[in-house]
Amino acid sequence: MRRTWGFLAVGLLFLATACSVEIVIPIRSQTTPTSSYKAPTPTTPIPASPATVTDACPFIAVGELAQILGTSAEIQAREQPADVEGTEKRYSCIYEDIHQSIDDAPRLHITVAPEIGADSIAAVDNTAKAFCREPITAVGGVGDKTVHCEHGTDFTRAYIVVGKLSEGQVRLAFVDLRKSRADVYEAIAKLLAERL
């Protein structure tokens, strides 16, 4: 089990750094931010806790992300090739503003570890330790464990990590986006926890 979570940390580090060339959407807020978030109907619906995870983009629809971020940018979701390591699978989605450089775009990574004895809480803790700098903020009542934090070295980026045991699998959602407000992080985390 330790080896699997070590692979997860290394894989997420690789995705967060090496793949940062293929990143998306500078976030330009063109609407007044609100502290109360109401989830819109997904443009690409996904059932809550699907039996099989095959990609990342359906976990957050483009319209939902734009509303949460408070942007009117033209965003498109681009699924990346899946990464399979043993029984562990990682899926990634880039949310790209079609009029901007992709360097600042939000990225969503979904990792599925069907190992018996895997622990979703440990997965969140290990991922946060690997990528975050203090303070790491817990979000209560969302998934088995959810945290958000600032990037370890890039002070313009933030991470959201959601872990959940679902369909007999540990499912971990990892979001990398431009730094924003706590209510934005929590709204994204709640959507992901419902769908993981």
Digit-coded pLDDT (tens) for 56-110: 999 999 999 999 999 888 899 999 999 988 878 999 999 998 888 788 899 999 9
Q: Which of helix, strand or coil describes residue 135?
A: strand
CB-based contact 177:189 (threshold 8 Å): no
125, two tokens: 């803790």
β-partners of residue 157 are 178
**Average pLDDT value for the chain:** 79
Q: Exposed, middle or buried: residue 22 (CB in 10 Å: 0-12, 13-18, 19+)?
A: middle
Residues near 143 by Cβ (< 8 Å), separated by ≥ 6? Answer: 120, 162, 163, 164, 189, 192, 193, 196
* Overall residue count recorded for the chain in this entry: 196
123, two tokens: 């997965």
Whole-number Å distance between alpha carbons of 163 and 49: 12
CB-based contact 194:143 (threshold 8 Å): no
What pTM did the predictor assign? Answer: 0.75
Name which of 108, 88, 89, 105 is nearest 97 in CA terms.
105
pLDDT of 48: 78
